[in-house]
A and B are shown apart, each in its own frame.
Chain A
Amino acid sequence: MLKVKNLHASVEDKAIIKGLNLEVNPGEVHAIMGPNGAGKSTLGYVLSGRDGYEVTDGDMTLNDANLLDMEVEERARAGMFLAFQYPVEIPGVSNMEFMKESVNAMREERGEDPLTAAEFLKKAKAACKQVQLPLDFLKRGVNEGFSGGEKKRNEIMQMILLEPSLCILDESDSGLDIDALQVVADGVNSQRDGKRSFIVVTHYQRLLDYIKPDFVHILADGEIVKSGDASLALEVEKHGYAFLGKKYEEAEA
């Protein structure tokens, strides 16, 4: 599904990703952990094609299509979904209008007819219910005045509606209490169908108690320094990132 080879990327001429390799196959859940400043969020932005995040070397393909040739919206329509750590508030654009436009863009890509207002509403209501978001959130401005937990649930709601093939969750656990975490994790788990793949970016192991990863990678200073199974996450939980060297131990303090 996703193949990343020797990826180098920089922001404002500062190298952040320095030779990253990652292969995600259909149905797999990969967790990417790492200390602050390792390049975790940058990875999501680079994969999704954000302006200002420049790929200086390496390759990345999604289902054999070259991501570097694709605009942000084309990557999304090719099946990539990025759940933001800090979802953007957009007053003046309703959640409903936004999602309808988005769902229909995906449908167009697949050669399907756009949904009617009634068909869309039915799907949107079901998705809201699944992540326990009140229905009136559809009418409100995108993320406008939502609490941290509501924003994260809104991200998962969008994911459910858009049915992507690769979901990148950027610190979807940050700022959540245990109940909200459970809702987010349930939403994600409901979308695991053996074909859909996930990259779960997180600082803490906690989220991985709820979303069980097949692989865990440790990202440090722009590259993956260690890979393993779920037990690696527990190790990190127990011993911190100290094994990466003194520099990270201090950063954690």
Chain B
Amino acid sequence: MSQWLNQVIEQAKQVDDYLTPVRQQALKTLQTEGWPSQRSEAWRFTPLTPVTNREVQTAAADQAGEAPEVAGLNAIDVVFANGQLVTDLDNISWPEGVTVTSLAEAGQHSDDVAAVFGQVKPQRHLFGLVNDAVCQQGIYIDIADGAQVTMPIRIVNLATQDTDAHTRVLVRLGKDARATVIEHGTGDAQSMTTAFAEYDIAASAHLEHYRFAMFTGSACHVGGSHFKLGDHAELNSTLVGYGSQLSRVDVDIHHAGEFADAKMNAIYLLAEGELFDLHSTIEHAVPNGTTEENARGIIGDRARAVFNGRIHIHRDAQKTLAELNNRNLLLSRRALINTKPELEIYADDVKCAHGATVAEIDEGALYYLLTRGVPRSRALIMLNFGFIRELVNLMPNEALREWLLPVLSERFAKMEVR
């Protein structure tokens, strides 16, 4: 058993609010299933030891720093500092059609929040259940049918020393609506945070989504972004992961409506002894859906990456087009990737492809660049950064692209090679 989980359960028992029915259910599962063993498939390559015997702590919100600046992004920022909502939602002039509610003060919107809370996120995620049970901070964003929200909404999660924090993001995107949501988490000090987001995307709506899980050092983080797509809905999602003692993101995309289109790109860049784990599950429950998922990572030094990408095509999901690809570059002999793309197909008229590759540095190409006087660090960036940059360039938001490229290439330049 885990001291941390026991303490969280005790904490959860004290919570009593309008979400209690869902919380009780989660609590029950947590109590029966308990802490996963190393044999548990979901945690096979990702040891939970950094959290198992953790003492739950609470750092004050005012200790957290400022939200990272993204020049030219021009977004509405909602900031959670050490798990506490520090943005005054009433002080923001929200675009037309957007209604935002704090989970802690849902008031008249309690029923709307309860209708979404825990409805998109599958119940199998242990830390998702933890979040269900104890999370009291979060926001619910409702975007009315047809609303075209051009200004991105960025939800920032800052974690500092001695933090245990649990936050939730709920988004309902109405029919034909359009919006951009960015989940941006950072932290490098000893902490444990969970952040789960649920997106209910109605028919013909379009969501542009980003999740930057930039936790490093001893900042442990487990979270998830979960999507439900209606008929003709479109999702364009980009995930960027750094590694820490424990950093794990679960993504679920559920094609609930026909002709929905999901594009998901993931980038991870790991250094030193970092760990990053991405699990994605795409459920094609109905016919005519399309999915394209590309996950690419560079792993240096003693870092470890785990990728598990599952595409599940149900028996009725004829005419599904699904592609899943995972490419990895190992910069050192001690770097490790455990990759497992999985296709499970029960329909007979579908077009699916999946693949995973692991490569090392091309010595011949590196030597060629060096003979022309190019510094070694620059040569490595030129040779190896290209396939990461390709995914960055596919991000629709220009300001985010221009912010992210130098951030990633700087991180890459510092990575140790063999």
Contacts and interface: CB of A to CB of B under 8 A. Distances in A.
Interface of A: 48, 50-51, 71-73, 75-77, 81-82, 84, 87-88, 90, 92-93, 97-99, 101-102, 105-106, 109, 142, 158, 162
Given A73-B375, A97-B382, A105-B375, A92 B370 contact: no
**Cβ-closest 5 pairs across A and B:** A76-B373, A92-B386, A72-B370, A102-B372, A88-B368
A73 B370 contact: yes
B394 interface: no
A111 to B, nearest CB: 14
A71 B368 contact: no
Contact of A93 (B364, B370, B376, B386): B386
A51 B376 contact: no
B374 interface: yes
A67 to B, nearest CB: 13
Contacts, number: 68
B270 to A, nearest CB: 21
Interface in B359-379: 362-365, 367-376, 378-379
A77 B373 contact: yes
A127 to B, nearest CB: 13
Contact of B382 (A72, A82, A93): A93
A84 B374 contact: no
Given A51-B367, A88-B365, A76 B382 contact: no
Contacts of A92: 383, 386-387
Nearest to A159: B372
B322 to A, nearest CB: 26
A183 to B, nearest CB: 21
Contacts of B378: 101, 105
A105 B368 contact: no
B376 A71 contact: yes
A162 B371 CA distance: 11
B373 A90 contact: no
B372 to A, nearest CB: 4
Contacts of B367: 50-51, 72, 88
Contacts of A84: 368, 371
Given A50-B367, A51-B363, A51-B367, A90 B372 contact: no
Nearest to B389: A92
A82 B369 contact: no
A93 B383 contact: yes
Contacts of A90: 362, 365, 368-369, 383
Interface string B388-399: 000000000000
Contact of B376 (A73, A99, A158): A73
For the residues of B in contact with A, the DSSP-based class is: helix
19 contacts: A48-B371, A71-B370, A72-B367, A72-B370, A72-B371, A73-B371, A82-B371, A93-B382, A93-B386, A98-B369, A101-B374, A101-B378, A101-B382, A102-B372, A105-B372, A105-B374, A105-B378, A142-B368, A162-B373
Nearest to A89: B365
Interface of B: 362-365, 367-376, 378-379, 382-383, 386-387
Given A88-B368, A93-B386, A162-B372, 19 more contacts: A72-B370, A72-B371, A73-B370, A73-B371, A73-B375, A75-B371, A76-B371, A81-B372, A90-B362, A90-B369, A90-B383, A92-B387, A93-B369, A93-B382, A98-B372, A101-B382, A102-B374, A105-B372, A109-B373
B368 A87 contact: yes
A102 B373 contact: yes
Nearest to A75: B371
A233 B52 CA distance: 76
Contacts of B368: 84, 87-88, 90, 142
Nearest to A109: B373
A76 B365 contact: no
A170 to B, nearest CB: 11
A72 B386 CA distance: 23
* Of B364, B369, B370, B373, most A-chain CB atoms within 10 Å: B373
Contacts of B370: 71-73, 76
Contacts of A106: 373
Contacts of B376: 71, 73
A50, A90, A98 — most chain B CB neighbours (10 Å): A90
A158 B372 contact: yes
A106 B387 CA distance: 27
Contacts of A81: 371-372
A88 B364 contact: yes
A71 B367 CA distance: 11
Contacts of B371: 48, 72-73, 75-76, 81-82, 84
B306 to A, nearest CB: 26
Nearest to B363: A51
Residue among A87, A93, A106, A109 with max Cβ neighbours from chain B (10 Å): A93
A4 B105 CA distance: 80
Nearest to B390: A92
Contacts of A48: 371
B391 to A, nearest CB: 13
A76 B374 CA distance: 9
B249 to A, nearest CB: 27
Most interface-central of B383, B386, B387 (chain A CB within 10 A): B386
